[in-house]
């Protein structure tokens, strides 16, 4: 069994990556992170009001954001039977928020979405940026992974994670 991705787009929301590219980016990240167990990942594309609601509900931060990761299972969970797929979780992206962020960071919308897809998947795999050392390590890993996927060339280096301030919000 291969990894499975359920990409769901809220009405009225557009996204610059197609389902095949979402799968290719996620497959590459999972392979590079050493995940050999088949994984199920949901990618939800939502408007800013919905992402604000989720951010308030799950993180107690009542404002819109670009990406939220909701973890379900870990691939190394000993409770999973050998070969049993891992329901990794949900990556929630807000494309309109990401579009404004892309303009602010001088990236294309597609490249910003690729970055945040990688970022969200790394969160599902246990990476975080709650302190400076974690943020530096996560940024470096994002740089390494983004160098392995086709991009528009606007992501020179992640350097300033878009989420450092949120760890303290």
pLDDT tens track for 86-134: 999 999 999 999 999 999 988 999 999 999 999 999 999 999 988 888 8
Please choose, from the candidates 29, 38, 34, the residue with its C-alpha nearest in 3D space to the C-alpha of residue 84: 38
Please choose, from the candidates 130, 140, 65, the residue with its C-alpha nearest in 3D space to the C-alpha of residue 95: 65
Question: CA-CA distance, 70 to 61, in Å (whole number)?
Answer: 15
What domain range includes position 14? Answer: 4-168
Please choose, from the candidates 118, 127, 116, the residue with its C-alpha nearest in 3D space to the C-alpha of residue 93: 116
List of the chain residues with pLDDT < 50:
164, 166-169
Question: CA-CA distance, 84 to 38, in Å (whole number)?
Answer: 7
What CATH number should be reported for the domain holding residue 72? Answer: 3.40.390.30
Return the pLDDT at 156.
73
Return the pLDDT at 157.
67
Which residues, at least 6 apart from 160, have a Cβ–Cβ distance to it below 8 Å? 139
Question: CA-CA distance, 90 to 8, in Å (whole number)?
Answer: 10
Please choose, from the candidates 74, 89, 55, the residue with its C-alpha nearest in 3D space to the C-alpha of residue 163: 55
Return the pLDDT at 147.
92
State the burial class of residue 11 (Cβ atoms within 10 Å of its Cβ: 0-12, 13-18, 19+): exposed
- Average of per-residue pLDDT values in the chain: 91
Instruction: Give the count of domains, the chain.
Output: 1
Question: CA-CA distance, 81 to 64, in Å (whole number)?
Answer: 38
29, 145 Cβ separation under 8 angstroms: yes
């Amino acid at each position: 069994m291969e990894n499975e991705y359920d990409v769901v787009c809220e009405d009225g929301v557009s996204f610059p990556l197609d389902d095949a590219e979402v799968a290719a980016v996620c497959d590459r990240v999972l392979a590079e992170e050493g995940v050999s167990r088949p994984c199920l990942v949901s990618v939800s594309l939502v408007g800013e009001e919905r992402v604000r609601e989720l951010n308030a509900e799950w993180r107690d931060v009542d404002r819109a954001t670009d990406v939220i990761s909701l973890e379900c299972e870990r691939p190394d969970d000993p409770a999973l039977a050998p070969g049993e797929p891992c329901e990794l979780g949900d990556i929630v992206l807000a494309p309109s928020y990401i579009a404004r962020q892309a303009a602010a960071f001088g990236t294309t919308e597609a490249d910003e979405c690729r970055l945040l897809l990688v970022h969200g998947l790394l969160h599902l795999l246990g990476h975080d940026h709650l302190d400076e050392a974690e943020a530096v390590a996560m940024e470096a890993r994002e740089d390494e992974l983004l160098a392995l996927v086709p991009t528009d060339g606007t992501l020179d280096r992640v350097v300033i994670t878009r989420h450092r301030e949120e760890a303290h919000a």
